[in-house]
Structure 1
Amino acid sequence: MTHTLLIGVPSFADDDPHVSIGKHDTAIDINAKFTLDPVTGVPSTNMGPNGAAEDPNQYMADVHCRSGGSDTPDRGCLTLDCPPKTPGGEQGTPVIWRQAPKYITNPVWTDYPAVSGPTCLYDAKPEDVLANIAARILNDFRQLPVNPGTLEVQPFPNTLKGGPTNFYATPGQQTFDLTILGQAVHLTATPANYTYAYGDGTKLGPTPLAGYPIPQTQWLTTETRNSHTYTQTGNYPATLTTSFTGTYSVNNGPPLPINGTLDLTTPPKTIHVWKTEKALVADTCEQNPTSWGCPKADR
């Protein structure tokens, strides 16, 4: 009997924190009801802390690909070769990815537009390997060598007490290709929120604002939405924490959201806050290099 594999986008229900597999006449439904945080053990919901909306679609890896039935016209399924990846290993299963609105019962499935033909899944039971990848993907996501970017400060390293200091972030979207349980998995990490810790006990965020650089002529006069004003002189270790969201696709399948975030903090960047002083002087520094306020003054 040929089965069709339905992959539900992971969701969480408080009263049902488990992975349920229900067999039907024509399909095996796999709904990953949760993703466990490997640190806290707490299941996460579809709506992450960044407020990103869940994927409105559900996806199907159609293993009717080689059945020759009228419901799945052959587009290379019968000729696609999925040889074992290791000596003595299992051959792959040709599948065609399809999609449909998530909340429609018995939907009409359409081809997933980003994948034009069949691809290979490597497992004796494709439904098992996909469910197992879904169960571990958050932990794999958090092990990626994602670059947290840098915290940029204007002016730096010295700024003035009582004046605006501009902060902005530089991280960008990053992609990774891994092999998980014998499958080719493509992961994408996208910066979603930023938390600026200014080093004096105050913070901004989480905020979606990455900020932006401003011309040097505006450093001491322009206040941006990420600016901070230090009220006391001193040395302050400022940091940036970036919260990355992620998606993953298996063997060129549709990108599925990862329930959870990867939070990375930059090394501290020390900011020296100075105060200004005013005085009347008779000469310029060119006329008298040792005059008050000049670089060669004895202070």
Structure 2
Amino acid sequence: MAKLKRIALLLAGTCCVLFVVPCQTAVAKDPKIDIGYVDNGLNLTGTQWSRNPISGEFIPRVEGSTSAVEDPNQYKADTHCRADGPDTKDPGCDALDCPATTPGGQEGAPVIWKEAPKAITNPGWTDWIPVTGPTCLYGVEPGNVLADIAARILNDFRQLPINPGTLETQPFPHTLKGGPTNFYTTATQQTFDLTLLGQTVHLTATPTSHTYTFGDGTTLGPTPTTGYPIPETEWLTTNTRTSHAYTETGNYPATITTNFTGTYSVNNGPPLPINGTLNLTTPPKTIHVWKTERALVADTCQQNPNSWGCPSTEPQ
């Protein structure tokens, strides 16, 4: 008969959950922590825990202290994995595999997370909406895993294949000296799903500011303005918030640097801010700045191919 181990888990309130899990030999893999935090902290094996909002680290909570944001709800894990009662077992529980994390170690238990108002003594529990359906619960300290993820998340964020977008100009590749040249970026919000330390992590990268470098020694930004395309008929007459006028002819390498901020969530948990940003710069785009000249002519180029301004008179 498998050895039985009793685990006590108290999440975000005063509701204590006891469940029995058989220890079996299974293929080892990283522990899966399906719910390791709530707004007002975490309590494991009789110790109240709180999460540092800046570092994401879990620390023991001092007796009598309160969270900056008090969660009005209490939580429990339905270890029988039943949605509403003993006769309505969720079919997803049978299909959910929660293997042990080490050879000969303890298997996880399929659970359904429930919530209820703290003010009610004997509440009617309802499903915790951020996590729908059964998930795995293991008898390890989630704080350790979550703190490790928080410590490395910025580095992983900066390794993501985030697309910086492109720098677009109107007109291109040639523009006129002294005239408005419209610049804009195509950078967009992007999402990624990773597995870190055995946990499912969802990351979101959001462009928040842009620095336009026009190649002639002038810049615009950082600014949240992304710019936008305008009709061709307005290219040489319309100034936008991201337009630039070159004062000298020449060839100028223009770029745009976009600053991305990020959030991450662990196992469908609430989104947490990443303490740091990522700057991505587009490859240079060469802008050819020309000048215009005016002259009075008597003939068209068809009438006189050697007339001023006709192709045959342009320097080769």
TM-score normalised by L of structure 1: 0.72
In 2, distance between residues paired with 1:257 and 1:145? Answer: 19
**2:305 is aligned with 1:280:** no
Q: Are 1:265 and 2:278 counterparts? A: no
Q: Structure 1 residue 31 and structure 2 residue 37: aligned? A: no
Q: Classify 1:141/1:8 alpha carbon distance in 2 versus 1 (closer, same or farther; 3 Å).
A: farther
1:182: Cα distance to partner?
A: 0.7
Q: Are the equivalent residues in 2 in contact too, given 1:62–1:96 (CA < 8 A)?
A: no
The count of corresponding residues between Structure 1 and Structure 2 is 266
Q: Residues of 1 paired with 2:289 and 2:95: CA distance? A: 65
Matches within 5 A, 1:149-228: 149-228=165-244
Instruction: Indicate the SS of the match to 2:147.
Output: helix
The 5 Å alignment of 1:138-149 reads 138-149=154-165
> Aligned with 1:247: secondary structure?
strand
Change in Cα spacing, 1:188 to 1:68, as seen in structure 2 (3 Å) is closer
Match of 2:145 in 1: 129
TM-score scaled by structure 2?
A: 0.69
**Alpha carbons 2:11, 2:43 under 8 Å: kept:** no
Identity over aligned pairs, percent: 62
Amino acid across the alignment from 2:145? V
Q: Quote the Cα distance in structure 2 between the aligned partners of 1:208 and 1:57.
A: 33
Give the 3 Å change call, closer, same or farther, for CA 285–119 of structure 1 in structure 2: farther
Deviations 1:243-283 (A, max 9, x none): 11212122222222222211100011111111111111122
71, 79, 83: which one pairs with 1:66?
A: 79
Which blocks of at least 5 consecutive residues in structure 1 are unaligned?
Answer: 10-19, 36-55, 101-107
TM-fit CA distance, 1:31: 2.1
Give the Cα separation in 2 of the matches to 1:215 and 1:201. Answer: 28
* Amino acid paired to 1:29: S
Deviations 1:116-174 (A, max 9, x none): 23433678332211221122111111100001110001111111111110000001121
Q: Which of structures 1 and 2 has the bigger CA Rg?
A: 2
Closer/same/farther in 2, CA of residues 57 and 130 from structure 1, 3 Å limit: farther
Residue number in structure 2 paired with 1:105: none
Contact 2:182 2:240 in 1 (8 A): yes
Structure 2 matches for 1:69-108, cutoff 5 A?
76=90, 81-84=96-99, 88=103, 91-92=107-108, 94=110
- Could you say what the CA RMSD is over the residues aligned between the two structures, in angstroms? 4.1
Query: What stretches of structure 2 of length at least 5 have no aligned partner?
Result: 1-6, 13-36, 57-68, 117-122
Preserved contact between residue 83 and residue 92 of structure 1 (Cα < 8 Å)? yes
